[in-house]
Structure 1
Amino acid sequence: MAAVSEALRGHLAMLAFSALVAGSFSLGVMVANEIAPAALNAARFLIAAVVIGSAVLAARGLRREDYRAPWRFVVLGGLFAGYFVLMFYGLQTADPVSASAVFTLVPVMSAAFGWLLLRQITSGWMALALAIGAAGAVWVIVRGDFGTLLAFEIGKGEIIYFWGCVLHAIYTPMVRKLNRGEPALPFTFGMLIAGAAVLFVFGWSDIIATDWIALPLIVWIGLFYLAVCASSATFVLLQYATLRLPSAKVMAYTYLTPSWVILWEIALGRGAPPGMVLIGVAMSVIALGMLLEGGAKPVRAKA
Structure 2
Amino acid sequence: MKNTLRVHAALFVVAVIYAANYSLSKDVMPHYMGPFGIVTLRILGAALFFAVVSRLVAPHDRIVGRADNIRAILCGLIGIGGNQLLFFSGLNLTSPINASLLQTIAPIVVVIASAVLLGEKITLLRVLGIGLGGIGAATVILSRAAGGIVYPNAMLGNLFILLNATAFGVYLVIVTPLMRKYHPFTVLARIFLVGAFLAVPFGWRGALSADYSSFPLYIWAEIVYMIVCLTILAYLLNNWALKYASPALLGVYIYLQPILAVLIAVGLGKDHFTWARAGQAALIFAGVFLVSRKPKPAPAAVPLEAMQD
Q: What TM-score bracket applies, with the shorter chain setting the length?
A: 0.7 to 0.9
Write the mapping of 1:124-273 to structure 2, written as runs, cut at 5 A: 124-125=124-125, 128-129=128-129, 131-141=131-141, 155-177=155-177, 181-247=181-247, 249-250=249-250, 253-270=253-270, 272-273=272-273
Relative to structure 1, the CA distance from residue 244 to residue 188 in structure 2 (aligned partners, 3 Å threshold; closer, same or farther) is same
Relative to structure 1, the CA distance from residue 142 to residue 19 in structure 2 (aligned partners, 3 Å threshold; closer, same or farther) is farther
Match for 1:197: what amino acid? F
| Aligned twin of 1:10 | 7
Give, in whole Å, the separation in 1 of the partners of 2:178 and 2:63.
12
Relative to structure 1, the CA distance from residue 154 to residue 49 in structure 2 (aligned partners, 3 Å threshold; closer, same or farther) is closer
| Aligned twin of 2:40 | 42
Give, in whole Å, the separation in 2 of the partners of 1:266 and 1:77.
34
Give, in whole Å, the separation in 1 of the partners of 2:167 and 2:250.
20
Contact (CA 8 Å) 2:81, 2:199: kept in 1 or not? Answer: yes
Q: Provide TM-score, normalisation by structure 2.
A: 0.76
Q: CA deviation at 1:175?
A: 0.6
Give, in whole Å, the separation in 1 of the partners of 2:73 and 2:23.
29
Match for 2:241: what amino acid? A
| 1:120 partner SS | coil
Contact (CA 8 Å) 2:96, 2:270: kept in 1 or not? Answer: no
Contact (CA 8 Å) 1:13, 1:241: kept in 2 or not? Answer: yes
| Aligned twin of 1:98 | 98
| 1:35 partner SS | coil
Asked if residue 78 in structure 1 is aligned to residue 77 in structure 2, the reply is yes
Q: Provide TM-score, normalisation by structure 1.
A: 0.78
| Aligned twin of 2:111 | 111
Give, in whole Å, the separation in 1 of the partners of 2:259 and 2:137.
11
Q: CA deviation at 1:191?
A: 1.4
Contact (CA 8 Å) 1:133, 1:284: kept in 2 or not? Answer: yes
Relative to structure 1, the CA distance from residue 113 to residue 20 in structure 2 (aligned partners, 3 Å threshold; closer, same or farther) is same
Q: CA deviation at 1:31?
A: 1.8
Q: Deviations over 1:9-54 (max 9, x none)?
A: 4344323222211112111222221313222111101222333344
How many residue pairs get matched? 286
Runs (5+) with no aligned partner, structure 1: 146-152, 297-303
Give, in whole Å, the separation in 2 of the partners of 1:10 and 1:135.
33
| 2:181 partner SS | coil
Give, in whole Å, the separation in 1 of the partners of 2:185 and 2:268.
33
Q: CA deviation at 1:235?
A: 0.9
| 1:108 partner SS | helix
Relative to structure 1, the CA distance from residue 90 to residue 271 in structure 2 (aligned partners, 3 Å threshold; closer, same or farther) is closer
Q: Deviations over 1:264-293 (max 9, x none)?
A: 113323464123322333455556766888
Contact (CA 8 Å) 2:36, 2:89: kept in 1 or not? Answer: no
Relative to structure 1, the CA distance from residue 228 to residue 124 in structure 2 (aligned partners, 3 Å threshold; closer, same or farther) is farther
Give, in whole Å, the separation in 2 of the partners of 1:227 and 1:68.
31
Q: Deviations over 1:76-102 (max 9, x none)?
A: 122121111121211222011011111
Relative to structure 1, the CA distance from residue 138 to residue 217 in structure 2 (aligned partners, 3 Å threshold; closer, same or farther) is farther
Q: Deviations over 1:91-148 (max 9, x none)?
A: 2220110111111122112211111111233455555555545544445555597xxx
Q: CA deviation at 1:217?
A: 4.1
Bigger radius of gyration among the two: 2
Asked if residue 29 in structure 1 is aligned to residue 26 in structure 2, the reply is yes
Q: CA deviation at 1:158?
A: 0.7
Relative to structure 1, the CA distance from residue 136 to residue 176 in structure 2 (aligned partners, 3 Å threshold; closer, same or farther) is same
Runs (5+) with no aligned partner, structure 2: 146-152, 297-309
Give, in whole Å, the separation in 2 of the partners of 1:195 and 1:138.
29
Give, in whole Å, the separation in 2 of the partners of 1:7 and 1:134.
34
Relative to structure 1, the CA distance from residue 218 to residue 123 in structure 2 (aligned partners, 3 Å threshold; closer, same or farther) is farther
Contact (CA 8 Å) 1:252, 1:287: kept in 2 or not? Answer: no
Give, in whole Å, the separation in 1 of the partners of 2:81 and 2:8.
28
Give, in whole Å, the separation in 2 of the partners of 1:217 and 1:259.
28
Give, in whole Å, the separation in 1 of the partners of 2:154 and 2:111.
24
Q: Which has the higher mean CA deviation after the structures are superposed, 89-98 or 118-127?
A: 118-127
